[in-house]
Amino acid sequence: MSTAAEAPGAKTATALAPGIRKAFSGTMMAPLLLGVALNPINSTMIATALVAVGHAFGVGVAQTAWLVASLYLASAVGQPTMGRLADLVGPRKVFLSGLVVVLAAGLVGALAPAFGWLIASRVLLGVGTSAAYPSAMAMLRAESRRTGVEAPRTVLGRLSLASLASAAVGPVLGGALAATLGWRAVFAVNIPAAAVGLLLALRWAPADPPRTAERAKVSLDPPGLLLFAATIATTMLFLMNLAHPDWLLLALALLLGAALVALELRAGQPFLDLRLLGRSPGLTRTFARSGMTYLVLYCMLYGFSQWMQESHGLSAFHAGLIALPMSVTAGVFSLLGARTRTLRAPLVALTLLLGAGSALLLLLDGHTPVAVLVLASTVFGVGQGLASSCNQAAVYAQAPADGTGSAAGLQRTSIYLGAILSSSVLALLYGTRATDAGLHGIAAVMGVLCAVLLLFTTADRALRAGRRSS
């Protein structure tokens, strides 16, 4: 169990025996990092190919938007599902299976004869890439149990860096592929990436731990899975259009959610272990904190870029350059955050930074110097880097040893919900154009969320105690 003074995994690799250092070696991490990068890079890589896809199939913005939303929806359901499977049948098997699905998705997208096939490809990509992160977290936990020493925080930090860096590179890579090889290359690039990942994983990914007789009896709970998928899908569809809310969708989401709770509380082997969440309030708070934090970050990521182009008069290229420090500092501070000995202090610090950044946005207008815009981008980048590594470490510390994959998947679902909700906040406050007043309204919402996050984080006893579920 972690002490109050140390974050989980605080023992560094330099303090470990050579055999234990080898367990978390670069060769073991290589396939995990490649796999983890595939979901965020596919989330952002499509952005610069949407126009070309629309022209190719004669569809408009409303239709091409589903290429973005379909991956988010599939990932929101797929991450906890794949995490559950990783806990049940073994993370290595699930990791390899996910890469096979990614390879198939790349083929479907590259050869798609009609627009509907592209939607199918994006759904497959969402499902396949969802296997990597929860499986990687479960593999690290299995190695920790095998060696008797926690995975170093720097190892967890590399997973955060892989996600952040690939998301930042995605738009650039997508634009380069679409401009040189055509939009189909944005889908086809997953074929060699998945093939390389498969070869590396077959060679270096750690073997699954033996299944105990007790674990072999555990089932996936298909009814619970279907109800969870339906609840998440209807909730996200409602959140995607808060400017014109479909109240029937909300009512359906609430009914499905109530049915899910009733079913899972009675199930002997529930897909969504609500009793565990009740017994581990710290883990539940980590899910909520992740969702709120990324709601703030996505409001900044998407809202700031639109405002720079439509109100400040910058080109898309220059707006991208100003946003670049956010990606760079996020990567740097995800690694630095992995070296902290506690979780509570950096989580409080990142919340204060996000609050300060939100206050800065309130002062911006169409004549604000570019240097101030770069400063705002940098401040949010620091917060994003700390949020990624520290919330990930909190999940690793607070999840039960045999439920790490499921917990990691549920955390990702909370992040996707934050991303979808941010798009609705922007639609409500921007309307048809990103104005100064709209930016200030978004900043005010972000500031309120940061105040709630600050109270939420400082009052979290699980973070103060540094506790881990057994």
> Which domains are present in the chain?
1-208 (1.20.1250.20), 221-270 (no CATH), 275-470 (1.20.1250.20)
Distance CA 392, CA 382 (A): 16
Q: What is the pLDDT of residue 127?
A: 95
Q: What is the pLDDT of residue 470?
A: 36
401: nearest Cα among 331, 324, 468: 468
Contact in structure between 254 and 242 (CB atoms under 8 Å):
no
330: nearest Cα among 378, 281, 283, 294: 378
Place of tokens 């990068």: 37
Residue 147: Cβ-neighbour burial (10 angstroms; 0-12, 13-18, 19+): middle
Distance CA 258, CA 434 (A): 38
Q: What is the pLDDT of residue 1?
A: 33
* Stretches in the chain below the pLDDT threshold 70: 1-23, 61-62, 211-219, 316-317, 464-470
Residue 73: CB atoms within 10 Å: 22
Q: What is the pLDDT of residue 171?
A: 74
301: nearest Cα among 361, 347, 350, 368: 361
Structure token pair of residue 19: 């055999």
Residue 313: Cβ-neighbour burial (10 angstroms; 0-12, 13-18, 19+): exposed
Structure token pair of residue 169: 């590179």
Give pTM, 2 decimals: 0.76
